[in-house]
Amino acid sequence: MAAVVRGVLNGIREKGLSNFLRHARDEGYFKCLLDGNLLQTKIHNIGATLVGVDKFGNKYYEKLHDTQYGRHRWVEYAEKGRYNASQVPPEWHGWLHHITDSTGDEATVNSPPGRLPRLNAIEPFSLVPGSKLQACLAVSHSMKLLEQNAKAYIVDHKENFSGEGEELIYHSKGHALNPGQRDWTRYQPWEPKKEEAT
C-alpha cells in the first residue's frame, strides 16, 4: 500500500498534477472504479513482469511466482472501455494462451533462417532415423518454424467488429450488459387485478 502511495506521489512530482491525472485517465485507473475486471487486472499487474506491448498498445504481463499456474499470463487491453479477446493479435495469441513460450515480439522479428539448427546439422548426434530423439527434434523444429511464420499473415490483425453496438454483442445471461432477463423470479404470481376481467 505504501508503495502504491509512494508511486502516486512520485508520479505527481514528476509530471505535475494535471499531467498525472491525464495519464491516470488514459491508463484506465478511473474506469477501474466501475469495472471490476479492469481493477483486478490492475491489481494483478502489481509485481508482475511486463513481457511486451503489441502494436495496438495491449500490454502482456507474466508473473511466474505466487500465481496459480495457468493464470500466470494475462493481457491488459489498450482499449479500457470496450475490450474483448479479439483485440489480441495472432502473434501474441500463442504466447497468451500458453501455446508457445516465444512472445509476440520474438515471433514478429524476422529471424534469419540460419538461426535455427538445421536438422541435418545435428545429425552426427542423432541416432538411427525414426528414433525418438529425432522425432522430438523434428517436432520442435517445425514448432519454431511455425512461430516464425506468424509474420506470414499478409493482412493486419483487426479486432472483431461484428455486432457493433451493445445490443448485438453476446453477453451471457445475468451479465450487466445483457438486456434480457432482469427478473429472476421463476414463478408467475397471481394477479389480483385479473379478477375484474373474469
Partner 1 sequence: MAFFARAIRHSSPYLRSRAPPPPAVAASCRWISPTAAAGSPEAGAAVAPADPETPPPREPVGGARVELPSNPEDALEVFVDGHAVRIPKGFTVLQACEVAGVDIPRFCYHSRLSIAGNCRMCLVEVEKSPKPVASCAMPALPGMKIKTNTPVAKKAREGVMEFLLMNHPLDCPICDQGGECDLQDQSMAFGADRGRFTEMKRSVVDKNLGPLVKTVMTRCIQCTRCVRFASEVAGVQDLGMLGRGSGEEIGTYVEKLMTSELSGNVIDICPVGALTSKPFAFKARNWELKGTETIDVTDAVGSNIRVDSRGPEVMRIVPRLNEDINEEWISDKTRFCYDGLKRQRLNDPMIRGTDGRFKAVTWRDALAVVAEVLQQVKPEEITGVAGKLSDAESMMALKDFVNKMGSDKVLCEGNGPSPPADLRSNYLMNTSIAGLEKADVFLLVGTQPRVEAAMVNARIRKTVRATQAKVAYIGPPTDFNYDHEHLGTGPQTLVEIAEGRHPFCSTLQSAKNPVIIAGAGLFDREDQDALFSTIETVAKKFNVVRPDWNGLNVLLLHAAQAAALDLGLVANPTESIKSTKFLYLMGADDVDLDKVPDDAFVVYQGHHGDKAVYRANVILPSSAFSEKEGTYENTEGCTQWTIPAVPTVGDARDDWKILRALSEVAGAQLPYDSLSGVRDRISMVAPNLVHVDEREPCTISSEVKPPVKQQVSSTPFKTVVENFYMTDAITRASKIMAQCSATLLKK
Positions that interact with partner 1 (CB under 8 A): 186-193, 195-196, 198
Q: How far apart are the first and last CA of the chain?
A: 66
- DSSP letter (8 states) at residue 56: T
Are 117 and 97 in contact by the 8 Å Cβ rule? The answer is no
Beta strand 59-62 with 73-76 is antiparallel
Q: Least distance in Å: CB of 44 to partner 1?
A: 32
Q: Is 80 helix (H, G, I), strand (E, B) or coil?
A: coil
Q: Least distance in Å: CB of 197 to partner 1?
A: 11
Residue 69 or 187 with smaller CB distance to partner 1? 187
Are 108 and 91 in contact by the 8 Å Cβ rule? The answer is yes
Residue 156 or 191 with smaller CB distance to partner 1? 191
Q: Which residue's C-alpha cell is 499473415?
A: 153
Q: Least distance in Å: CB of 162 to partner 1?
A: 24
Residue 156 or 183 with smaller CB distance to partner 1? 183
- Give the angle 12-17-20 at the CA atoms, nearest 5°: 65
Q: Least distance in Å: CB of 56 to partner 1?
A: 35
Residue 156 or 196 with smaller CB distance to partner 1? 196
